[in-house]
């Protein structure tokens, strides 16, 4: 067994994890808990945050309409801070409450320069996102949203501009859903390095299959998929240079050509 401790105030909580050589899934070993980014490392990081009452706060909105807006304005190469800035800008215009604003009004608001750190910046996709938001707000106003994670995610994929990843992001945030996965670049890279995702598959063509693999991995670790997803995303995003070196060091026969494309994103 691997024994590690978490300090909680004046107390210590002992966590036992399986031996490094034991398989967590067929062909995937637990690895050493102190080695980033092994399965044991991820299990410990989730449990440590849980025991120390330091979970990652990933909900962005106070209503489903706000959550949809926040997630639609982010992702797809848009820096997180820019998506959140645009979200707060629309919130300040009262665009996220009351009667849904028109697409044209949303476009005008999103095109406005927004102050940040003594300067002004502009949101790059005002026209496209205004169109998606206007359609989403109308659909949310006239239809009842499902109340379970997978059902909400699948319902959201019928919205213009919302694919599996964004819909899963909304469902995870809003419902703490453990039956969906947000398969962004950081999760995919972690899956390749730890071996729990099939890197010959792509999110564009095989999202359900990759999601199934991620959910099986979280279940095998004994942690919630929503917690695991959030922890992996945060740590991988904060360790970009280390992750890049690890991916570049992968053997040629592990699909390095595809991995190298990920490094350029």
Let me know: does 167 contact 154? Beta carbons within 8 Å: yes
Catalytic-role residue among 107, 129, 179, 184:
184
Three-state SS across the chain? Answer: CEEEEEEECCEEEEEEECCCCCEEECCEECCCCCCCCCHHHHHHHHHHHHHCCCCCCCCCCCCHHHHHHHHHHCECCECHHHHHHHHHHHHHCCCCCCCCCCHHHHHHHHHCCEEECCEEECCCCHHHHHHHHHHHHHHHHHCCCCCCHHHHHHHHCCCCCCCHHHHHHHHHHHHCCCCCCCCCHHHHHHHHHHCCCCCCCCHHHHHHHHHHHHHHHHHHHCCCHHHHHHHHHHHHHCCHHHHHHHHHCCCHHHCHHHHHHHHCC
Q: Is 93 a catalytic residue?
A: no
Instruction: Report the greatest alpha carbon distance in the chain.
Output: 60
Give yes or no: 179 in active site. Answer: no
Q: Are 83 and 110 in contact (CB under 8 A)?
A: no
What's the distance, CA 84 to chain centroid?
15
Point out the catalytic residue in the list 165, 176, 179, 212.
Answer: 165
Active-site residues, by number, are 165, 184
């Amino acid at each position: 067994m691997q024994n590690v401790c978490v300090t909680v105030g004046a107390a210590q909580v002992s966590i036992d994890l399986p031996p490094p050589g034991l398989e967590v899934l067929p062909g995937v070993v637990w690895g050493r808990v102190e080695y980033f980014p092994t399965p044991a490392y991820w299990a410990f990081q989730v449990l440590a945050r849980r025991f120390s009452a330091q979970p990652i706060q990933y909900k962005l909105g106070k209503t489903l309409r706000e959550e949809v807006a926040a997630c639609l304005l982010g992702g797809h190469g848009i820096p997180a801070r820019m998506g959140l800035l645009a979200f707060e800008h629309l919130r300040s215009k009262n665009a996220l409450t009351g009667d849904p604003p028109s697409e044209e009004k949303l476009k005008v608001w999103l095109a406005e320069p927004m102050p940040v750190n003594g300067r002004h910046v502009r949101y790059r996709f005002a026209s496209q996102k205004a169109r998606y938001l206007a359609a989403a707000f109308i659909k949310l106003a006239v239809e009842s949203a499902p109340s379970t994670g997978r059902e909400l995610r699948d319902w959201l994929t019928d919205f213009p501009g919302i694919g599996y990843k964004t819909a899963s992001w909304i469902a995870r945030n809003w419902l703490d859903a453990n039956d969906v996965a947000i398969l962004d670049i950081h999760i995919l890279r972690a899956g390749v390095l730890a071996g729990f995702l099939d890197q010959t598959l792509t999110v564009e063509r095989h999202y359900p299959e990759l999601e199934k693999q991620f959910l099986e991995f979280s279940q095998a670790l004994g942690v919630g998929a929503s917690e695991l997803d959030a922890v992996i995303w945060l740590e991988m995003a904060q360790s970009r240079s280390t992750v890049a070196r690890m991916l570049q060091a992968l053997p040629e026969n592990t699909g390095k050509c595809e991995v190298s494309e990920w490094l350029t994103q």
